[in-house]
Amino acid sequence: MFILIIYGAVIVMAIGLVAKFILDYTKSDHRIDNLELAIATPILLFLVVPLIMWLGTKLAVSNLVTYNENWGGYETQAERIVSSCQRDGNMKNYYKGDPYKYEWDTHDDEVDSKGRHHSVTHHHSETRYHNIPFCSEEWTFVVRTTLGDYTIADRNLPDNPNEYRYRAYVSVPDYLDHGTPDFWTLAKHRLDSGNPGPVTARRQYDNYILASQNSILKRFNDSVGRYQKAGLLPALKSNPIHDFYLADRVYFVGAHPSGNWQGALNRFDAALGSMRQGDLHLVIVDANTVTDPDNYMGALMAYWESPALGKDALSKNGIAVVVGTKDGKTVAWARAATGMPAGNEMMILDIQNKLVGVPLDTDSIMGHPTVNLATHKWSNTSSALEQTVLWGQDAFVRVHMGKLTDKGASGYAYLLREIVPTGWQRFWMLFSAFVAGCVTWGICIAHGTPMARAFFSSGSLSNYRSYRRSSY
């Protein structure tokens, strides 16, 4: 930041000195005198420029370390909110009707032929119309979750809207949104049966490692290009959220086992996010094609954490699990890694060892963890990932980036002090200093007009002008 302050100081002083030279040379009444130069210089050098660079650096680093991650939660309530509709009320679906005459007066100032001003009143009137609702009520459908409320439909007309006509002789057009959304109905059914559905939300967090310019901490694998060319490296979804709060985090590479894998992983990640703040991604590959599991895992992590993915790289709470299958029925090998370079090593080994030979189906791999809405406690079905990631002896622990003395921290806080703004960010900081310099010296020039100086001077305008001429 110190070098930016130096550059900023050079810029603002160059603006002031160039302006002073030009105005002195042209003998302008707007010249910057020595007193103004003596006042503006320390303000710019010791206050304005350092403040701009300090604030700009803070904002730049904050932007650089901010990344996106997935949070997991679950549904807690499905609510239908009924709103009564009245003429000219707050409603979504209405038509214009019931004409009425609206009258108002305006008062204008007019000048007659003799130059005298008169206030003239003009009367106006026009036909206006009331807003008439189609139905006597509108319905809003909301699903409440542990991660916030989601509006599934806003002020729909009721089921069978013609039965709710506001006026019996005005039918409801078919094109208007009406009825209970299927998505909300399914959520309501799940909650009524005590089996709330999973929820995924996109949130922001700080990642010093991904933002760091220190290449030592970056994952690297020289096989990334080869796997990409062969179509064996799936792209990490930049925004996996769809249908309000569902996500796709299962990737198929040459192997396509049957089953609702996306739905099963959504449920698993709901438990993982709620219990351990984790986010698991599962890659199922054809082990006949991918014959080097360790190298493939390294290439996948190097790709998923590469700068090419920007703010959507695999997050620090991310867990990548790769399973290889030769027959499409059982797991031949398994590998795992997390979004942090250290931590959860025993869990990774457990996944690698305990998934081998497990049947390749959703119940055996991820199970069906369920939450009790009354106690908010989860129960498991003893699947392979439940036993290793959720309830195992070495279950996942979200690793923080603070000091090593912090609970669960990995000691990467020092990286925050090493992160520097990018070239474009430095450009905009120096441009801000340029603008601040223009404004400051512009104030000096504006204060330097004879009238303004006379206002601030105790002498008369003529004496001040004499002073100006004698000063130069």
Domain count of the fold of the chain: 3
Looking at the fold, whether 365 and 398 belong to one and the same domain comes out as: yes
Does residue 406 carry a pLDDT above 60?
no
Looking at the fold, whether 454 and 406 belong to one and the same domain comes out as: no
Q: 198 lies in a domain? A: no
Does residue 88 carry a pLDDT above 60?
yes
Q: 401 lies in a domain? A: yes
Does residue 1 carry a pLDDT above 80?
no
* Mean pLDDT of all residues in 44-70: 88
Looking at the fold, whether 37 and 126 belong to one and the same domain comes out as: no
Does residue 232 carry a pLDDT above 90?
yes
User: Which of 320-324, 443-447, 452-456 has the lowest average pLDDT?
Assistant: 452-456
Q: 199 lies in a domain? A: no
Q: 170 lies in a domain? A: yes
Last residue of a domain, one of 161, 192, 223: 192
Looking at the fold, whether 55 and 9 belong to one and the same domain comes out as: yes
**pLDDT at residue 188, rounded to an integer:** 97
**pLDDT at residue 410, rounded to an integer:** 55
| Per-residue three-class SS string for the chain | CHHHHHHHHHHHHHHHHHHHHHHHHCCCCCCCCHHHHHHHHHHHHHHHHHHHHHHHHHHHHHHHHEEEEEEEEEEEEEEEEEEECCCCCCCCCEEEEEEEEEEEEEEEEEECCCCCEEEEEEEEEEEEEEEEECECEEEEEEEEECCEEEEEEEEEECCCHHHHECCCCCCCCCCCCECCCHHHHHHHHHHHCCCCCEEEEEEEEECHHHHCCCHHHCCCCCCHHHHHHCCCCCCCCCCCEECCCEECCEEEEECCCCCCHHHHHHHHHHHHHHHHCCEEEEEEEECCCCCCHHHHHHHHHHHHCCHHHHHHCCCCCEEEEEEEECCCCECCEEEEEECCCCCCHHHHHHHHHHCCCCECCHHHHCCCCEEECCCCEEECCCCHHHHHHHCCCCCCCCCECCCCCCCCECCCCHHHHHCCCCHHHHHHHHHHHHHHHHHHHHHHHHHCCHHHHHHHCCCCHHHHHHHHHHHC
Q: 309 lies in a domain? A: yes
**pLDDT at residue 219, rounded to an integer:** 83
Q: 12 lies in a domain? A: yes
* Mean pLDDT of all residues in 423-438: 89
Mean pLDDT of the chain: 88
Last residue of a domain, one of 132, 157, 192: 192
Task: Pick the most confident of 51-60, 314-323, 451-460.
Answer: 314-323
* Mean pLDDT of all residues in 398-408: 63
Host domain of residue 11? 2-65+422-471
Looking at the fold, whether 242 and 352 belong to one and the same domain comes out as: yes
